């Protein structure tokens, strides 16, 4: 409105005509904007974009016709206002002028209100699609890990059924506790102390199966216990360290150490170290699906986190770093 009135004033239009133009736009614009906004909100999720556009054009056309006719009628009956055009007053001409003006206002309204909404809606849909893809991939990773873990644990208990049935029953009870906790855990993240407690029960099964051959040690700093990390993130690393590290020493002194601490910068650092023969490739071990799963889960659930391996003939250490973790 201000731009159009300024344009008329610069063009030398008479004050009476400027006042009339101000009244014309001051009554038409608010009603037109209100009608377009109501129609837009009622159209969301109900009609297509083309139908919504057609509805907006129709509303603007209706307002333009009404106000164009009114403008022409006033110009013809109140000549003192000098509302006529240089080529005279005509209801057809003023109606056409009203329709064109209303369509221009509709275009401005679309740019100012509908376009930003459409951009934000598209961004939200893209984020939602990315989230759904991430959840689907996480579900796929977990669907692979859970049977993998269950099979290995049952194999561990199977070796005790004949020779030590009482110990096998105890470990089956322990396995039941593990599975119950895994099923009941619905949060994406869990406190480190809860994950360590779960891993310690898992470690009991492994130590019982490989009695005298395997020892698992725990070194968790109190300052790190309440840090949050993805659920069951460390289990594949412990399993990998046992299977591909400590049990491949060739003697009876296999050892796995699980450490957790906070760096001076507040980064959560988790280490799973074994004293095995090391990895021929510092990033890949044969059949190490768990390592791939951990890396992908970190990428999806903790952007900026990292997993790296340091390996030598003295053993391998897998290091997870999660920057600025939250706390439970």
CATH number, residue 304: 3.30.565.10
Nearest Cα to 54, choosing from 100, 106, 112? 106
Q: Return the residue matching tokens 């969301």.
A: 44
Residue where a domain stops, chosen among 126, 145, 169: 126
Tell me whether residue 152 is in a domain.
no
Tell me whether residue 327 is in a domain.
no
Inter-CA distances, 248 with 110, 240, 259, 313, Å? 69, 11, 21, 12
Tell me whether residue 134 is in a domain.
no
Tell me whether residue 138 is in a domain.
no
- 170/305 same-domain check: yes
Radius of gyration of the CA atoms of the chain, in A: 36
pLDDT at 169 over 80: yes
Helix (H) or strand (E) holding 233: none
- 79/184 same-domain check: no
Tell me whether residue 255 is in a domain.
yes
Confidence of residue 308 (pLDDT cuts 50, 70, 90): very high
216-257 pLDDT tens trace: 999 999 999 999 988 878 988 998 899 889 998 877 889 999
* pLDDT value, residue 10: 63
Range of the domain at 49: 2-126
Torsion of CA 279, 283, 286, 290, to 10 degrees: 120
Tell me whether residue 191 is in a domain.
yes
Partner residues linked to 189 by β-bridges: 230
- 173/250 same-domain check: yes
Tell me whether residue 154 is in a domain.
no
- 120/22 same-domain check: yes
Residue 297 Cα to chain centre, angstroms: 14
- 179/270 same-domain check: yes
118-159 pLDDT tens trace: 777 777 777 776 665 666 555 555 554 456 667 766 776 787
- 204/119 same-domain check: no
d(CA 238, CA 259): 11
- 178/110 same-domain check: no
d(CA 20, CA 81): 7
176-186 pLDDT tens trace: 877 777 666 55
Q: Which 3 state secondary structure label does DSSP give 305?
A: coil
Average pLDDT estimate for 279-298: 66
Domains of the chain: total? 2
């Amino acid at each position: 409105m201000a731009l159009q009135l300024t344009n008329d004033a610069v063009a030398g239009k008479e004050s009476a005509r400027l006042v009339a133009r101000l009244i014309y736009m001051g009554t038409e614009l608010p009603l037109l904007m209100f009608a377009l906004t109501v129609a837009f909100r009622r159209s969301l999720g109900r009609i297509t974009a083309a139908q919504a556009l057609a509805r907006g054009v129709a509303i603007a056309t209706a307002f333009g016709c009404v106000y164009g006719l009114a403008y022409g009628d006033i110009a013809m009956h109140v000549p003192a206002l000098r509302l006529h055009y240089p080529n005279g007053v005509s209801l057809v001409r003023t109606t056409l002028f009203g329709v064109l003006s209303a369509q221009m206002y509709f275009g401005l309204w679309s740019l100012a209100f509908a376009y930003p909404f459409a951009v934000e809606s598209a961004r939200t849909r893209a984020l939602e699609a990315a989230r759904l893809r991430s959840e689907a991939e996480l579900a796929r990773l977990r669907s692979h890990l859970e049977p993998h873990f269950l099979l290995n644990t049952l194999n561990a208990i199977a070796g005790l059924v004949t020779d030590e049935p009482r110990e096998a029953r105890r470990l089956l009870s322990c396995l039941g506790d593990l599975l119950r906790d895994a099923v009941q855990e619905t949060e994406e993240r869990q406190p480190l102390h809860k994950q360590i407690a779960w891993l310690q029960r898992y470690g009991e099964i492994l130590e019982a199966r490989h009695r005298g051959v395997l020892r698992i040690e725990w070194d968790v700093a109190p300052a790190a216990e309440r840090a949050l990390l993805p659920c069951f993130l460390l289990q594949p690393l412990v399993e990998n360290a046992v299977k591909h590290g400590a049990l491949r020493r060739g003697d009876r002194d296999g050892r796995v150490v699980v450490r957790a601490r906070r760096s001076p910068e507040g980064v959560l650092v988790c280490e799973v170290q074994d004293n095995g023969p090391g990895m021929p490739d510092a990033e890949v071990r044969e059949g190490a699906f768990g390592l791939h799963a951990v890396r992908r889960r970190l990428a999806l659930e903790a952007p900026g986190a990292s997993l790296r391996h340091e390996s030598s003939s003295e053993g391998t250490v897998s290091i997870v770093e999660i920057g600025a973790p939250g706390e439970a």
